[in-house]
Amino acid sequence: MELGDKFMSQKVELSIIVDNRERKLMSLLDKSYTHIKYEAKQLDIADVVISEDVAVERKEGFDLISSIIDNRLFEQLMRLKDTYANPLLILEGFNDTVLENTGMRLSSIYGAMSKIACSWRIPIIPTRNLDDTALLIERIAYREQTKEDTLLLSRKAPKEMNLDERRSFIIEGLVDIGPKKAKTLVEFYETPYQVFKAIKKTEITYTRTGNPKGLNGPLSDLQGFGWKFVEKNKTVLFGGAKPKEKKKDPQKTIDDI
């Protein structure tokens, strides 16, 4: 029996979060990986969240090429890297058929991949197909949640933490934020109280048609924090005031939190 097969036979229950648009992956998990309990939700960052530190962006061959051309890949991976300590890129079905029918130079493709792997230090793991991808996700989840005793999105604080670490731990409880982003906020604002004030004072700006387009306020100066981050965390922290009410709300009330 192979080592991997031995682990699989143990049927250790694992937990992951899967973007609800990954229907083929969820169907395969339902059929062949019943020991993986997944929560399906719309994720702004990542396709699969495996633990507090590990999240995966999954790209099929042709989708990888199109996302390089329109720069979508770099934006997605930058947000992934800003949010999770150990981001991963799974490259699925990247074969001769893809390479010979892209209309893109091989040097450009491998140049983009070298930037991701070497400059951004994001590991790229190739798989042959969706079956291999599901197996890989199972193996990573097993390593993260069982072998290393790391639970999904665990919020257990270490017994020994200095002041900055404890402040970062508090900030990590916000929506769509990992250790790296939490550290950035603590370094910039020093205390969780000041972070909460910055979130409340940051306003979402809108286009003439009413669509969110950016930020105005303290967080607009920090890279990696978009309008969705502000919107979600205002809801968590302050109950989510309606856009029309934000202009009428005196800024002095921020000190009431």
**pLDDT tens sequence across 125-137:** 999 999 999 999 9
Predicted pLDDT of residue 16 = 94
**pLDDT tens sequence across 130-173:** 999 999 999 999 988 875 444 444 455 555 678 888 888 888 88
pLDDT band at 256 (very low <50, low <70, confident <90, very high): low
Predicted pLDDT of residue 71 = 87
β-bridge pairing 212-216 and 36-41: unpaired
**pLDDT tens sequence across 55-97:** 999 998 888 888 888 888 999 998 888 888 889 999 998 888 8
Please state, as a whole number, how many other Cβ atoms lie within 10 Å of the Cβ of residue 22. Answer: 19
Q: What is the percentage of the chain residues whose pLDDT exceeds 90? A: 35
By the 8 A CB rule, do 195 and 185 touch? yes
Structural domains of the chain ordered from first start: 3-147 (3.40.50.10130), 163-256 (no CATH)
For residue 175, which phi and psi values (nearest 5 degrees)?
-80, 140
By the 8 A CB rule, do 128 and 89 touch? no
Beginning with the edge strand found earlier in the chain, give each strand of the sheet holding 54-60 in spatial order. 36-41, 14-19, 48-49, 54-60, 86-92, 124-127
How far apart are the C-alpha atoms of 226 and 153, rounded to whole Å? Answer: 22
Residue 36 has pLDDT above 90, yes or no: yes
